[in-house]
Chain A
């Protein structure tokens, strides 16, 4: 019952924002096309590296293309679904009007994560899917059912990790004001998800695997499609996502207890 209500509200929000997006057609250019162009622009450093080396930490041209495809999917989902919702919720927190979201008959956190969507940015994700398929054909990959299952599991973990980071940003913004730039920090940090995780060394590798798990979002899905993902990495990815989700939920509940709306 409750699940169906959540799904209905998510569907309604998606419908409303799609209708709004179709009204605001200039968004096709400013959010969709520009989003794709700028994400591809982020590949320039990789192109530079491949210009001077035959591969980047063991990843050749088409392997990097596959990775870039997954990056576009993650970046598109972030820009279309997560970032607008977080930004809208932060604005509600600042103005003390978060009550409007909390009073809905669904979970408060889900309500915040459904606060706003910008569907045009999904063009980037669609482009990413096309790139993944194109690169897989070029690499002559024929993934087995098990590999596809691994891909689904790893990619799901990556998405959970991404959302957990978004919720953590939201929780922090209860405490400190004027933190809209946190989403900016996330956006610039996301640029490093362009790179295969094997490029990073030492502490930074640990950070990008377990704390800000870009590896789980882009490198692991590409590896699972190529069949080179180690089982222990898969377990690590699932545990990381579960851990981050638990921390995010806890931080959210804690932050919400300290929330006093505009009137109180």
Chain B
């Protein structure tokens, strides 16, 4: 990476951080909105009071949903709403004039809000850690090490999906509403409300190969030590596979969309 690009990215990072701080109320609402695994935790732990459900006992649910909260915070992205607005209002024109690719701009902006998000989420997470039996993580360094790329790939998957759907705003007026459709499926199928391994067998088999599970359930299960090394590697491969499929779609939509955008004379 050339030092000039690095300087630009550092400037963007500071800008993104400042913006996140300015809109801290909004960031706080995001943190709250993504705290729902913690409500699921309370719910499932009371259902599991009479005995374990599948291979999850109360402690198992505690670990799973605390990890889900953590992964959700670290893999969050909101480029679809930003892009939707920028295309609709023409703000994108200003971004196109800058010496950094707009997609890179958004990626840095999303990442630079992470420290503040973590700071706001930390008290919530800490309180839950103290109130429950805490989190039991994978017991080998190798599995924990694999969880790091898994979380990074989960972020990339969220970002690329949102980018692809956000690009539809070049042609449609309600691209963000289409993302709600994706989000509805994500909430049910990603292991956000219940671990997908507890689904009825047929549904579980389908859900576990979909990109929703790759973007949340898989890194969570890896983090709490429910996967073997072989399963972890297979999961990472699946994440890369979805990324290899969704990435080109997003890139294609971006390039075609930009042409349509220019055609409006904006």
Contacts and interface: CB of A to CB of B under 8 A. Distances in A.
Interface of A: 30, 34, 37-38, 41-42, 44-45, 47-49, 51-53, 56-57, 175-182, 184-185, 188-189, 191-192, 195, 199-202, 204
Contact of A42 (B47, B177, B187, B203): B187
B29 interface: yes
Nearest to B78: A181
Interface string B86-121: 000000000000000000000000000000000000
Given A44-B188, A52-B198, A179-B26, A191 B42 contact: no
A52 B54 contact: yes
A204 B193 contact: no
A7 to B, nearest CB: 30
A191 B200 contact: no
B32 interface: yes
A191 B193 contact: yes
24 contacts: A34-B181, A38-B181, A38-B184, A41-B187, A41-B188, A44-B193, A45-B40, A47-B200, A49-B53, A51-B198, A56-B47, A176-B23, A177-B23, A177-B26, A178-B23, A180-B81, A181-B29, A185-B33, A188-B187, A191-B36, A192-B36, A199-B47, A200-B43, A200-B46
B25 A191 contact: no
A51 B203 CA distance: 13
A179 to B, nearest CB: 6
A148 B46 CA distance: 32
A247 to B, nearest CB: 19
Contact of B187 (A37, A177, A191, A201): A191
A25 to B, nearest CB: 14
B214 interface: no
Interface of B: 23, 25-26, 29-30, 32-33, 36, 39-40, 42-43, 46-47, 50, 53-54, 81, 174, 177-178, 181, 184-185, 187-189, 193-194, 198-200, 203
Contacts of A178: 23, 25-26
A261 to B, nearest CB: 20
A47 B177 CA distance: 27
A87 B18 CA distance: 26
A176 B30 CA distance: 14
Contacts of A42: 187-188, 193
Contact of A185 (B29, B81, B200): B29
A169 to B, nearest CB: 10
Question: Which 5 pairs between the two chains have the least Cβ-Cβ distance?
Answer: A38-B184, A176-B25, A185-B33, A41-B188, A45-B194
A72 to B, nearest CB: 14
A181 B199 CA distance: 30
Contacts of B184: 34, 37-38, 41
Contact of B43 (A37, A177, A195): A195
Contact of B26 (A38, A41, A181, A202): A181
B160 to A, nearest CB: 21
A181 to B, nearest CB: 5
A120 B189 CA distance: 25
Contact of B185 (A38, A47, A199, A204): A38
A34 B174 CA distance: 15
B42 A181 contact: no
Given A41-B187, A181-B29, A181-B30, 11 more contacts: A45-B194, A48-B200, A49-B194, A52-B53, A52-B54, A175-B25, A176-B25, A177-B25, A181-B81, A199-B43, A200-B43
A239 B1 CA distance: 63
B170 to A, nearest CB: 18
B200 A201 contact: no
Contact of B198 (A48, A176, A180): A48
A185 to B, nearest CB: 4
Nearest to A207: B39
Contacts of B43: 192, 195, 199-200
A199 B194 CA distance: 15
A33 to B, nearest CB: 11
B34 to A, nearest CB: 8
A175 B25 CA distance: 10
Contacts of A57: 46-47
B178 to A, nearest CB: 8
Contact of B42 (A177, A189, A204): A204
Contacts of A45: 40, 193-194
Nearest to B24: A176
A174 B250 CA distance: 36
A191 B185 CA distance: 13
